[in-house]
A and B are shown apart, each in its own frame.
Chain A
């Protein structure tokens, strides 16, 4: 190594790697459902402005995140889009049961590309969703695991439409991926959360699913076992404060 400049650069790099991750003190790692992306990012900014603690987030389908936590991923807070995956981790004692809060709610909506010819309608159990899609497919999360897909499946099963709907589905990895497909016009219809439809200009809401058709959409938040640092606890607590609530509401979430 010739130049001393190069040497110190190398040393700095090594230190960074040794420290593990970005060279910030006190990061809180959050694994959160994809639908929380925009809102949670805003709240995290607020939090870091106030306390200097930054948030690192991984947004994906709750099922995928649960799997990763199960395999030892370094999450400190887990926010799921349904009860199922939180219960799953509670049962495995991978989250701190006492820290759990059922913080948010949401609505399930039917969306179409912004230039679609479909008009807004009232959705009832009798609404023939399959017919609405025509020859195209209905984009939503994988109904075997992704929460939004699971809710939709419930709605269809309860209204006896599941057999007709299932072959017409385009299964996405997460609700945001499903949203993207509708935005691109690849799918004439999609089933996402109301909050997702709200942030996208390229889709419009064609109808809202009555809450009787599916289980209430609940977002439980909890600390991951063994990773519940003071900073993590602090962030979790902050999510229920009035400042945070304002953000949740602004994005269209129901706050419990």
Chain B
């Protein structure tokens, strides 16, 4: 029963590619933002916090439209990208990855920040007395201790990216092979009479992927926890 059609394979491949790149690409920035929010105090911190969380509370379509305005060919940033580097983001999987990354970012930052805030600062001090500078301490002590939060954030981000629709379709629309991820392919099928059977198949595939992702996350999380507890 289950051999996948080319359309399904392509949608699946794109979904995994876009989500994977979105999460991997935004992880370093996510760690940085989480660290700044958890450890630093500065005027305007509330604003920065709000800005980072904005995609969480805005309708995804609004976020997508905003990306279109800013990163589109004629947008302030998009035109620079085009003129200087010859890069366009519209209609490309990279644009789709950016849309997913923006939507998933607040989830990642929240999870990592929570984990950071519960790290025992005393351990970092101990590392300092043992000859570790602040940067090295971060990588050898803080980061390993934060790894459960990192994992949670990554999984959450990945899951959210997999299900991303509104921002993606608004920013990069529906290009087979480039931006037609699982949700978008499913949507397109629901717009057409007679597309229901194919839509249902995609539904099943989406659920399966989500399930596998969650399962993998659970197993990884348990492993990390046991390692930390010795």
Are A and B in contact, CB atoms below 8 Å, in the complex?
Answer: yes
Identify the A interface with B (CB < 8 A).
61, 63-64, 66-67, 70, 85, 88, 137, 142, 144-145, 167, 169-173, 177, 181, 184-187
Contact of B168 with A by CB under 8 A: no
Main SS of the interface on chain A?
mixed
Say whether B191 contacts A184, CB under 8 Å: no
Question: Given the complex, which residues of A lie within 8 Å of B174, measured CB to CB?
Answer: 142, 170-173
Indicate which residue in A88, A169, A172, A181 contacts B193 across the interface (CB closer than 8 Å): A88
Residue of B nearest to A183 (CB): B74
Give Cα A145–Cα B90 distance, bound, in whole angstroms.
23
Say whether A63 contacts B176, CB under 8 Å: no
* Most chain B C-beta atoms within 10 Å of own C-beta, residue among A63, A172, A186: A186
* CB within 8 Å for A67 and B68 given contacts A142-B174, A186-B73: no
Give Cα A184–Cα B75 distance, bound, in whole angstroms.
9
Contact of B192 with A by CB under 8 A: yes
* CB within 8 Å for A137 and B192 given contacts A142-B174, A171-B174: no
Contact of B91 with A by CB under 8 A: yes
Question: Given the complex, which residues of B lie within 8 Å of A67, measured CB to CB?
Answer: 190-193, 195
Main SS of the interface on chain B?
loop
Question: Given the complex, which residues of B lie within 8 Å of A142, measured CB to CB?
Answer: 174, 188, 191
Give Cα A64–Cα B188 distance, bound, in whole angstroms.
9
Residue of A nearest to B92 (CB): A137
Question: Given the complex, which residues of A lie within 8 Å of B152, measured CB to CB?
Answer: none
Say whether B73 contacts A181, CB under 8 Å: no
Q: Which of B135-181 contact A (CB under 8 A)?
A: 173-177
Give Cα A184–Cα B173 distance, bound, in whole angstroms.
13
Question: Given the complex, which residues of A lie within 8 Å of B175, measured CB to CB?
Answer: 137, 169-171
Contact of B72 with A by CB under 8 A: yes
Q: How many A-B residue pairs have CB under 8 A?
A: 53
Say whether A184 contacts B91, CB under 8 Å: no
Say whether A137 contacts B91, CB under 8 Å: yes
Question: Given the complex, which residues of B lie within 8 Å of A64, measured CB to CB?
Answer: 191-192
Q: Distance in Å from the Cβ of B186 to the closest Cβ of chain A? A: 14
20 A-B residue pairs with Cβ-Cβ distance under 8 Å, sorted by A, are A63-B193, A64-B191, A67-B195, A70-B193, A88-B193, A137-B175, A142-B188, A167-B177, A170-B173, A171-B173, A171-B176, A172-B174, A173-B174, A184-B68, A184-B72, A184-B74, A185-B74, A186-B68, A186-B90, A186-B91
Give Cα A88–Cα B192 distance, bound, in whole angstroms.
12
Q: Distance in Å from the Cβ of B12 to the closest Cβ of chain A? A: 19
Q: A61-B191, A171-B174 are in contact. List 9 more A-B contacts (CB 8 A).
A: A63-B192, A63-B193, A137-B91, A144-B192, A170-B91, A170-B173, A171-B173, A172-B173, A173-B174
**B 69-88 binary contact with A (CB < 8 Å = 1; else 0):** 00011100000000000000
Give Cα A63–Cα B188 distance, bound, in whole angstroms.
11
Q: Distance in Å from the Cβ of A10 to the closest Cβ of chain B? A: 28
